A and B are shown apart, each in its own frame.
Chain A
Amino acid sequence: MSHAEALLVVDGLIVRYDGFMLHPVHLSVAPGERVALVGPNGAGKSTLLKAVLGRIPDHEGEIRVEGLPIRENVVRTRQRVGLLPETLLGYGWMPVNEHLDFLSRFQPNWDAQYAVQLLERLGIPTHTRIAALSRGQQVKLMFVAAEAFRPPLLLLDEPTSGLDPVVRNELLHTIDESLSANPGRSVIFSTHILEDVAALADRIVILVDGRLRMDIGKEELRKQNDGRPLTEILYQEFAPTC
């Protein structure tokens, strides 16, 4: 895949914080790819996702979405990339319907009908204040907010972390269905739940201590390990770091 065809190109990304450094990261995501970003806490997964959305302006290296550098196109990038954040992003006092209406003002491709469908499907009450929602409902709402404008690239930061198995499966199923309905759309999701990787990803990127340790296709990894179940391979190979 050439850089011209890639949906996302991360070229030599370096981020420096106090006591943390994301070492030069090179990553390219093609349309339709589902990438699992696996790594322990503090590995730099969220930092990488934030940088892709232009939230870390003082980074080094270049990030391009659909061929355009994000530095000069932050607003456009955020209209082409949906984010499900690790922690709640929104005003707790705002009811769900107002929150989505507010977001729709910034997204030209917002599909209000689709948003309502997703809310109904995921069982999120529309007139409840965000702060009054359960953790699971808040995560599902963040997914609706990220998905309602059908962005070509979805970034999901620890989407299933802290969810009970029922909600987790419901969310994973909805994510899978939404992406399958538009095969050209891609997703990068960070996780340390290996079952999620097996369920959703077709490519695995391992990040440890701010360094990209491995970038491999799911099938290739299986082949290299005599077709063993992916969770087993990941658990044996990478669990100590995750």
Chain B
Amino acid sequence: MLKRDHVEALIRVELRRVYPMALEMAGIVGGLLLLFIVFGKGDAENISAVLVGSTFGYIVLVPVAFSRDKIDGGLEFLCFLPTTPREIASARVAVAAIIACPGALQIALAFAIYGTRMYAVPNAPTAALILFLFAWSALTAASCVMLALISNFRLQTLLGMPLIAVGILLIGVPAVVRRFEAPINATLSGTVQHDNVLLAVAAFVVLLILGTLAITYVATVRGIATYRHGRDQI
């Protein structure tokens, strides 16, 4: 059983620490956009690229804070409290979900600015709202994946193979998208016109996100339960 008081207290403390970083990040994004506009590069494509590209920052905030907790003894402090690994993990997941909100908002904004020009969307406000919800849950799930990895593996290990995988992903995926941009756009344009296909894709994505959240939550709880300061911190 999760005790609401405990989880709330843990969420409040984590937010107290992470939200200034999230604000800083939002400020940096705002500054970048301003620079683009000031230097005459503020077209829809550039603005959208900045908005979408900077969402990665919101994914890493909570896992990075968790990693620091493992190193400096913050997690050890929590592990000595009358609380459970499930409560600690739940609070972190909740904070990851809260911090993902501005990231999802940026994606929805990018869609409103640029996406609606690219695709013939029948109901743009609804589509933007749905996109916001999808982006929010996907960003939360991505953050939870990192949280699960950091809670179960030493930072040293994570800086090895998974980093290479992330590097390949960051370089490889955009390259593939650029290569197949035209057919992807055609498919997307076709898809948004067909309700059934759209619904099936949406259901698949929802299931994928829910599954990811469930697996990563269990893994994070396990990581916290087996954590021992001084042995696993780096």
Contact = CB atoms under 8 A, between A and B. Distances in A.
B170 interface: no
Interface in B33-91: 72-74, 76-77, 79-84
B82 A83 contact: no
Interface stretch (A102-110, A133-141, A202-210): A102-110
A25 to B, nearest CB: 19
Contact of B17 (A77, A93, A106): A93
A79 interface: yes
Contact of B80 (A89, A102, A105): A89
Given A57-B225, A75-B84, A106-B82, A91 B9 contact: no
List the 9 closest A-B pairs by CB distance, nearest first: A105-B9, A78-B82, A89-B77, A75-B82, A106-B82, A79-B82, A106-B81, A90-B77, A105-B5
B73 A89 contact: yes
A53 B80 contact: yes
Nearest to B76: A89
A90 B228 CA distance: 16
Interface in B1-49: 5-6, 8-9, 13, 17
Nearest to A149: B82
Name the residue among A79, A85, A105 with the largest chain B CB count within 10 angstroms.
A105
Contacts of B79: 55
Nearest to B72: A92
Contacts of A102: 9, 13
Contacts of B231: 17
Nearest to A87: B73
Given A105-B5, A105-B6, A85 B84 contact: no
A79 to B, nearest CB: 5
A103 B13 CA distance: 11
A76 B82 CA distance: 7
Nearest to A89: B77
A132 to B, nearest CB: 15
B73 A106 contact: no
Contacts of A57: 225-226
A88 interface: yes
Nearest to A76: B82
Contacts of B225: 57
A74 interface: yes
Chain B, interface residues (CB within 8 Å), range: 20 to 34
A88 B73 contact: yes
Contacts of A55: 79-80
Interface string A51-95: 001011100000000000000001111110001010111111110
B77 A106 contact: no
A94 B74 CA distance: 11
17 contacts: A57-B225, A57-B226, A74-B82, A75-B84, A76-B82, A85-B80, A87-B73, A88-B73, A89-B73, A89-B77, A90-B77, A94-B13, A105-B6, A106-B6, A106-B81, A106-B83, A107-B82
Contacts of B76: 89
Interface string A84-127: 01011111111000000011011100000000000000000000
A15 to B, nearest CB: 11
A194 B72 CA distance: 31
A89 B230 CA distance: 13
A74 B84 contact: yes
Interface in A165-206: none
A79 B226 CA distance: 21
A77 B8 CA distance: 21
A13 to B, nearest CB: 17
Contacts of B77: 89-91
Nearest to B8: A105
Contacts of A90: 77
A87 B77 CA distance: 10
A91 B17 contact: yes
Contacts of B80: 53, 55, 78, 83, 85, 89
Contacts of A56: 228
A78 B79 CA distance: 10
A90 to B, nearest CB: 5
Contacts of B228: 56
A91 B83 contact: no
Given A92-B72, A106-B6, 12 more contacts: A75-B82, A75-B84, A78-B80, A88-B73, A89-B77, A91-B13, A91-B77, A93-B17, A102-B13, A105-B5, A105-B8, A107-B82
